[in-house]
Amino acid sequence: MRIILSLFDRANRYAAQSTWQDFALVKLCLFAGGMLAGLSVPVRRKKWTALAAGLVFLSTYVLLMERFLPFLLGREAQEGDCLEESFPQTASQE
């Protein structure tokens, strides 16, 4: 468990010093990797792979938008809002 918490801590430190452009590059990289992986799936399994990918996409999209929409609409989340509870806290954030 210490290794996971250490990775979360490092990811938080990286995110703190990154810009939106850095995150856009990470997303493009992951998208391209996902496309390459999807191309390698045999035709007979594409339906279930697409279903699983769609479920993961929808669930993560909802969580991300729950947190981003207040910023988009000009209503930044106040400290203690329920939006903060959507993502798990690491040891360094507690």
Q: Where are the domains of the chain?
A: 1-40, 43-85
Least confident segment among 1-5, 20-24, 68-72 = 68-72
Least confident segment among 1-5, 52-56, 72-76, 89-93 = 89-93
Residue 92's nearest CA partner among 13, 3, 27 is 13
Confidence at 67, pLDDT banded by 50, 70, 90: confident
What tokens appear for 9 in the block?
Answer: 């801590």
Q: In sequence order, what are the residues at sequence separation of 6 or more whose Cβ sits closer than 8 angstroms to the Cβ of residue 70?
A: 76, 77, 83
Chain segment 15-66, per-residue pLDDT in tens: 999 999 999 999 999 999 999 999 999 999 999 999 999 999 999 999 888 8
Q: What is the pLDDT of residue 40?
A: 93
Distances, alpha carbon 44 to alpha carbons 50, 52, 60, in Å:
11, 14, 26
